[in-house]
Structure 1
Amino acid sequence: MISHRRSTRILSQSLRLALLLASSGLAATVAAAAAVPAPAETPGNPELADIVVTATRSGAESLQKVAIPISVVNVDQITKSNQGNLVDLAKFSPSLAITEGAPGFNKFNMRGLSTGGYRTSDTSDRSLVAVYLDDTPISVQGQTPDLKVYDLERVEILRGPQGTLFGAGSMAGTIRFVTAKPDLNKFFGSVEADGAGTEHGNGSYNARGMVNLPVVAGQLAIRGNFYIGKDGGFIDNIGAYNRKDANSNRTTQARVAARWTPTDKLTVDGSFTYEQSRAHGLNTAFSGLPAYTTSTNSPEGTSDKFRLYQLGADYDLGFADFIATAAYTDRDIGFNASVEPQIGYFFQDYGSKLPIGTGTYPVFTAPTTYNQAITNALPAEKYTINNKIKDFMIEGRLASKNDGPVKWTAGVFYETQKRHLIQDIPTPGFDTLSYENYFYGPFATPTGRYDSKLVDGAFSSNDIFSGLQDVDEHQVAVYADGTWHVTPKLDLTAGLRYFNFEEKYFLFEGGVYGVINHVPLTQNATLKSNGVNPRANISYKPNDDLLIYAEAAKGFRYGGANQPVPVGTTGVAGQCAANLASYGYTAAPLTFGPDKLWNYTIGEKAKLADGRVTLNASAYYIDWQDVQTRLLLNCSYFFTANKGKITSKGLELESMVKVSPEFTLSLGGSINDSRANGDIPTVGAFNGDHTPYFPKLVFNFGAFYDVPVGNGELHLQGNYQFQSNQNTTFNRFSTTIVNGVLTKNGASSTFATIPESSNVSLSVAYDIGNFEFGIFGNNLTNGVKITNIARATYYQIYQAGSSVTYARPRTIGGRVKVKF
């Protein structure tokens, strides 16, 4: 394994080498980021093709002339290498980390801004990285839809706060999927099929197609595409729910778009995007079992049904373009986990010497070591979350023409979102097999026996937890952003966004895990916030091939409501009260407020060696304050509070070189140092502790070769990416508060280190006329294996080690594409 110190030296030496090679015309390509040639690249061209972006929302511009750090992912290249999943984006951008537990269940972290993992039941967990499909925000913290990277013009990854133009939730950065628009004059399309085999798993396949159809030449066209695929499973389940390759996933996606240009001044776009996925298992297993092996007693998996309706218009007013967009999102998200070890203590004999296994409590004698037979005997805990989201947004903006001394954009944004989450944990047999009757009966029921519904207000009998959360949010924002071309070489940019936000929140919790003295918990909360977020940028162009810039920008995200924490004198409520008191609370706060940061960036973008080399670098310093941190209490409840500061600083490099008309190389990376600035008691962080879930070092190398062979063109590409290890918490200690001071209290039962990873991928494609054939291999050395770790705590006697999330092992396959 490569040590962090050695890895840092490797990157430092590599960056110096890149600078040296660049000056001689032999440099290397895009950093741990957009390490792919430009989409418009053509074999035989001695120069790198220009990359166009629309990240400033004021029209198309050259990537090299936009004075902010942006990576652009080449869709054609990742399609050829069969790396079109959402999580694959982290392979092509510096300062970006994506943690995925199952398809559609992921968390984006950028530039080290992280305080921990995510919880599927926390509706108030706010995104730090906004994900957009064209002009529509689609991200939900931990649950961004896994839209396959297909039929897009490009993917733009903007690093640093983008609050002025993209609003809350983009305080760390923004990812934009820019779709390919209908062509008004040409009929064309393609059909493609892929097949692959995965080590330790079964086969995968997908089919996709696209067609562009002009209806009225020059005025009206329709473009449609589809994707149907199965990702073969590679996790074996040896529990009572015995399945081989249990985590297969099926996905169906489609998009239809129309473009209408009734006049030269007006363009109208409309589209419908559909995605439905169903994972029949999670990508998690247990460290105490053979690799890629789990144990559950009931099915697991995820589901996602995503429907997005978009309508937009662009009208040329002469002095400016008026752009209006509206979108409606209708989404249903499902999550199922089988976590029987966590309830094992309900069914074990506590020395009462009752008969075992008679159909009533107890089910078994308490084990002294892990016993698979006993784990298999646990009643199936069917942990279920269903999340319904309905979102409507509308935006209107004016973007001036770029023909005067000032270029400006101004707009108004409105969004309303309703979210209905139901959380339920039906556990067949719980009412009679658990210790409830033995220790706490008789109950005030017709039979005197325990009943989850009658005693603890659960949705049904044999139901240990039932809960619902209703969230109703509204936000309105007004923004303006302008650039003054002071001289042909000097630009000054300033932006401002005013926001006003309101949230209404209702919660109900029943079942044995959601009551205090058999009374269900409820919560009503209202939150309002408003503020102003500015940015300022200065850029200087000594010549046409060099841009130097500096920026200061404020980022923000909204606050929210907390789930209740029971407070009492006995049982769980008594334990919660003691936990709260140790942190200086008599009760959990009803709400938490916005957090904010200032990001300072300096950077340069250069073209060298007569256009054969690009070399882009940026350095940043971030001051994050009033951080939204989640306090996990020992009684299993949690709440969010604005506590502490975090400082993040780092360096990012992106470079590209055309060594010859046929050969392009890539080299780059990012270094991040993100730490607690002072103690943060809510997450047990001491001053100087590194933030969790973010690699300090990312390094990327790529090679691309295009050459005519016979009547066609041969394309070869290879990529290597290294990520240093990551911790799951700020440090390895358990902490407590002593006389108001955060104090170490032994070893942490939850701390883990996610190992470093090395990802190698290769692909070959041969394009001949209307046909394209290819082979590909991903994670060829199995250098990416474990991507997340969750330690077992009080229930470890019933679980075979820690819960570990596995990446897809070595996968090799082939593809064929027909164009018409």
Structure 2
Amino acid sequence: MKIRPPAVFGYSLAAATAVLSTAAMAQAATGGETTARAKPAAMSDQIEVVTVTAQKRREDPNKVAMSISAVSGEQLQNQHVNDITDLTRIVPNISFTAASGNGGAGPGTSNIEIRGISSAAGAATVGIYLGEVSITVGNVYTMGSVEPKFFDIDRVEVLRGPQATLYGASSMGGTIKFVPNEPDLKAREFNVYSEASGTRGGSPGYAGSVVGNIPLIQNELALRIGAQAQHTGGFIKQVDGGGNVLAKDINQVADQELRVALKWKPTPALTITPSLYYQKVDAKDISAFNTDLPNYQALKQVREPSKDILLTPNVTLNWDLGKADLTSSSSFFERKFDRTQNGSAYNSYSLSTFLTSTEDGVTAPPALIDAIAALPSAVYLNNKVRQVSQEFRLASKPYDAALSPWTWIGGVYFSKQHTNIAENDPIFGVNATFAQFGFSSEDPNILPDSFPGAFPNDNSFSGAFHYSERQASVFGEANYHFTPKLHGTVGARYLKGKSTLDQRNGLYLAGAGNNSSTTLSSTAFTPKFALTWEVDPANTLYASVAKGFRLGGSNVFVPPTTCGPDLQQNGIDKGPATYAPDSLWSYEAGGKSRLLGNRLSVNASVFYVKWSNIQQGVYLPTCAYTYNANAGDAVSKGLEFEIRAKPMAGLTLSASGGYVKAELSNDKGLQNGIVGAVKGARIQGVPEYNAAVNARYNFALGNQFAFVMGGMQWVGSSKGSLNPDQTDYERPAYHTADLSAGVSLGRYDLSVFVKNALDNDTVIQHPQVASIVQGYRVAPRSIGMSVAAKF
């Protein structure tokens, strides 16, 4: 399979494109405080406490021995946080990097990292949950993490550090949980939201949503249903070689969401909640432009659209057994992701290099070589992921000193995930071009190793790949309270996994072709230890040690006929069939305080992570293939903090930030052919720091309520590659500013907002794709207004 050169587009692109483009929130259904909808809370001098389910039970985050950011639906809406990529601005130590070899960043192609645990190869390093459904997918070259929209969301929980005990493999950097609003058995309510905005030099954006909560049988059965449609305006122009504009605003994105949930409480002890979430993201192109052209102009022969469809039905059962609570979660997850890449710089150029010129004493004229190199080519990628999973867990009641010093939770988890990928790489007009010059594409005198039918319907590569992964695990945690204020936690998970790759590929650019199957089995034991000291009701100190783990996997076939020189340079005759698991140990200490009568909260933590046997992508520059290998170790260390204050009723101030130093700790990666993988090299895609400040003031305006709000975000410098010779090696730091204001008029909330108010146009990434240096800027300033109503 031909893997595209690893142009790694990071957190900055995803965050800047999503946040600074049209902010189509459609979050009226969260019950949030868009203006002064929740008037008592708006004017309160108490800081809101967002409860979490990080440890699979609802509790105060200040009592949990881990670094957690819990962002409520109200806060998401207030700050126009539109989707998961926006979290990289307001939550410490989260970053984004494009999946290895994606050759162009767009929606659904990035991977999430926490605390510098960044790897664009192998399994994911961060677990993603939508409600009770795990939607974590591997770092295959064709796609990245699933990116749920923030529609009808109660809160988002970001759990930093390994979460393998309760969340399994691929939660080695942390876990992100999207917790939707549940149906209310009592209140009938309808929420509507609409928004319109404009982007400087681009097309307009708009959004609309409606959510209804309908009790069908009072206190027993309720339905919650909502729909949303959004359109984010584009600002990139497609041009031809003469600078003529072929199409405007090509990077527009449209998405639609539907969520349905039913809550049935047939008895006081039993609750059954079936739910379904559907999402479709239709991107017309990516946001790349050419750095040697005027701002926001892209010279490309082939457009690069994508369509990403997500479906997640789930049935959750909660049963109060008296002395313990039983939870069953039965889930199905399906993702269909079809996308097109502009393959002209890879396929057409690569084919032209195989032609032998008359200047070398053979037959192909230079004009034919140039004509082949100039042909347009596409890479058609059709991806489909399906997963079924089942989890049973039994949890004790919350701690009660009068009953027992113990609390505990235990369970079992099973999952089966299938990923099917189909790839076709046509070089449009290749057969006609050979015929135009009086040659055949099947002539081995001008095209080495040619064969009959090498380019059927102009296709140069055809591949079909089927990944299968099974997991089974048993897990548990126990807490023992030495005193009511001091307790220790011991947890562990034992996991067995098996992954299989069946692949078939052929046609000319596949070399000799390949039909093969590889299997790898993995086991892991991931313990966790923590100590929590509740100094007093307002202050908690903790320390923890935990292990994280990723499953190993199988590699796509690397043809030795075309990649022989690269493989030999790396000291091997053929690409490895599999790569092994990797793991890490994380050491963390922190404190959480609520001071001045809950008018000031301060959370801070420090961490040190030792990462062993890292799964890395090895790029073969001559033949443009990639395989995964275990190469080198790393250390990541740093800190994060979050501060919120209410110095007076109605005024909320917040500041957050994180610092990460993530570096390779030996030269093993260099020995395995990864250029630049030397001791001390910074792990790619990880910003050195990120920080955000925000201020919001709610006030009375006559008989109504109003607000004004402003915030700034900073993202530190990072490395886009381990190789210092790559154009994207140095990524600059940048900052943005956002403003908003609004008023409540009876049942209606009106607001205006400005994203990227300073109109920062920093080139935040500049990867090279073949001979072309692409650029990504912070999206231009956008201005919009919204109307929300509750009935």
Which TM-score tier does this pair reach, normalised by the shorter chain?
A: 0.7 to 0.9
Residue matched to 1:137: 134
1:378-423: CA deviation from partner (whole Å, max 9, x where unpaired): 3221111110111101100001101331111101000001111011
Residues 761-780 of structure 1 aligned to structure 2 (within 5 Å): 761-780=738-757
Specify which of 770, 784, 787 is matched with residue 813 of structure 1: 784
Q: Distance in 1 between matches of 2:706 and 2:451?
A: 66
Whole-angstrom CA distance in 1 between matches of 2:278 and 2:79: 24
Q: Which residue of 1 aligns with 2:15?
A: none
Q: In structure 2, what is the Cα distance between the partners aligned to 1:512 and 1:807? A: 40
Partner SS state of residue 707, structure 1: strand
- Residue 211 of structure 1 corresponds to 212
Partner residue of 2:257? 253
User: What is aligned with 1:625?
Assistant: 612
Which residue of structure 2 lines up, in the alignment, with residue 535 of structure 1? 528
**Residues 1:690 and 2:677 aligned together:** no
> Partner amino acid for 1:699?
A
Q: Distance in 2 between matches of 1:461 and 1:551?
A: 59
Equivalent in 281, 284, 291 of residue 280 of structure 1: 284
User: Does residue 1:488 correspond to 2:484, yes or no?
Assistant: yes
Q: 2:382 aligns with which of 366, 375, 386?
A: 386
Displacement of 1:749 in angstroms is 4.0
Paired position in structure 2 for 1:103:
107
Aligned to 1:28: none
The aligned runs of 1:32-431 (5 Å cut-off) are 42-57=41-56, 59-99=57-97, 101-115=105-119, 117=120, 125-140=122-137, 141=139, 142-239=143-240, 242-342=246-346, 343-344=348-349, 346=351, 352=358, 378-402=374-398, 403=400, 404-431=404-431
Question: Which of 692, 698, 713 is the aligned partner of 1:700?
Answer: 692
Following the alignment from structure 2 to structure 1, what is the Cα–Cα distance between the partners of residues 39 and 136? 29
- Percent of aligned pairs with the same amino acid: 28
Counterpart AA for 2:734: S
TM-fit CA distance, 1:773: 0.3
After superposition, the Cα gap between the structure-2 partners of 1:583 and 1:270, relative to the gap in structure 1 and judged at 3 Å, is same
- Distance (whole Å) between structure 2 residues aligned to residue 581 and residue 350 of structure 1: 23
- C-alpha distance in structure 2 between counterparts of 1:70 and 1:534, whole Å: 20
Partner amino acid for 1:130? Answer: G
Match of 1:4 in 2: none
Q: Is the 1:662–1:706 contact (alpha carbons within 8 Å) kept by the matching residues of 2?
A: yes
Summarize the Cα distance change of 1:284–1:391 in structure 2 as closer, same or farther, 3 Å threshold.
same
The 5 Å alignment of 1:737-752 reads 748-749=725-726, 751-752=728-729
CA deviation map 1:164-215 (0-9, x unaligned): 0111111001100001000001100111101010112100001011100000
Taking a change above 3 Å as real, the CA distance of residues 496 and 813 of structure 1, as seen in their structure-2 partners, is same
Matched letter for residue 150 of structure 2: V
The aligned amino acid for 2:758 is T
Q: Which amino acid aligns with 1:297?
A: Q
Q: Which amino acid aligns with 2:480?
A: W
Please give the per-residue CA displacement for 1:135-174, whole angstroms capped at 9, x wherever unaligned.
Answer: 1111324533332212111000000010001111110011
What pairs with 1:432-447 in structure 2 (closer than 5 Å)?
432-433=432-433, 443=443
The answer (yes or no) to whether the contact 2:230–2:256 under 8 Å persists in 1 is: yes
Preserved contact between residue 208 and residue 225 of structure 1 (Cα < 8 Å)? yes
1:315 is displaced (CA, Å) by: 0.3
Q: Where do 1:547-696 residues align within 5 Å? A: 547-568=540-561, 572=562, 576-634=563-621, 635-679=623-667, 680-681=669-670, 682=672, 683-684=674-675, 685-696=677-688
Is the CA contact (8 Å cut-off) linking 1:452 and 1:464 kept in structure 2? no
1:371 matched residue in structure 2: none
Query: 2:547 aligns to what SS in structure 1?
Result: strand
TM-score (ref. length: structure 1):
0.85
How many residues end up aligned between the 2 structures?
730
Residue aligning to 2:23: none
Q: 2:705 aligns to what?
A: 713
Q: Are the structure 2 counterparts of residues 452 and 481 from structure 1 closer, same or farther at C-alpha, using a change threshold of 3 Å? A: farther
1:544-591 per-position Cα deviation (integer Å, ceiling 9, x unaligned): 1111100000000111001122224xxx2xxx3332233232222110
CA-CA distance at 1:714 after TM superposition: 1.0
For 2:86, what is the secondary structure of its paired residue?
helix
Deviations along 1:109-138, one digit per CA (max 9) or x if unpaired, are: 1111224x56xxxxxx31111110011111
- Cα distance in 1 for partners of 2:593, 2:80 equals 31
Q: 1:345 Cα shift? A: 6.1
Give 1:500's aligned residue.
Answer: 496
Could you tell me how far apart the structure 2 residues matched to 1:288 and 1:134 are?
45
User: What is the Cα deviation at residue 785 of structure 1?
Assistant: 4.2
Q: Distance in 2 between matches of 1:332 and 1:701?
A: 37
Distance 1:501 1:693, change over 3 A: same
Q: What does residue 719 of structure 2 align with?
A: 727
Q: Offset at 1:39?
A: 9.4
Where do residues 461-480 of structure 1 align in structure 2 (5 Å cutoff)? 461-480=457-476
CA contact (8 A) 1:347 1:435 kept: no
Instruction: Please state whether the residue corresponding to 1:578 is helix, strand or coil.
Output: helix
Q: Name the amino acid aligned to 1:584.
A: G
Q: Which runs of 5+ in 1 are unaligned?
A: 1-35, 119-124, 355-359, 367-373, 733-747
Deviations 1:254-299 (A, max 9, x none): 0000000000000000111111121111111111111111122222
Task: Measure the CA separation in 2 of the matches of 1:109 and 1:37.
Answer: 35
**Is the alpha carbon distance of 1:449 and 1:347 closer, same or farther for their aligned partners in structure 2, counting shifts above 3 Å?**
closer
Structure 2 distance, partners of 1:693, 1:815, is 34
C-alpha separation in 1, matches of 2:528 and 2:652? 36
TM-superposition CA deviations, 1:316-363 (whole Å, max 9, x none): 011110000011112210111123233246459986499xxxxx9866
Corresponding residue for 1:10?
Answer: none
Q: What is the alpha-carbon root mean square deviation over aligned residues? A: 2.8
- Which range moves more in the overlay, 230-239 or 252-261? 230-239
SS of the equivalent of 1:242 reads strand
Q: How far apart are 1:751 and its partner, in Å?
A: 4.6
Query: Which residue, 772, 782, 788 being the options, matches 2:759?
Result: 782
Contact 1:80 1:774 in 2 (8 A): no
1:710 Cα shift? 2.0
Give the distance between the partners of 2:79 and 2:606, measured in 1 at CA. Answer: 31
2:452, 2:314 → 1: CA distance?
46
Greater displacement, 387-396 / 722-731: 722-731
Asked if 2 retains the 8 angstrom alpha-carbon contact of 1:785 and 1:808, the reply is: no
Looking at structure 2, the residues matched to 345 and 479 of structure 1 have their Cα atoms a distance apart, in angstroms, of 50
* Structure 1 residue identity aligned to 2:590: G
SS in 2 for 1:261: strand
Given the superposition, is the C-alpha separation of residues 156 and 361 from structure 1 closer, same or farther in structure 2, using an over 3 Å criterion? farther
CA contact (8 A) 1:38 1:50 kept: no
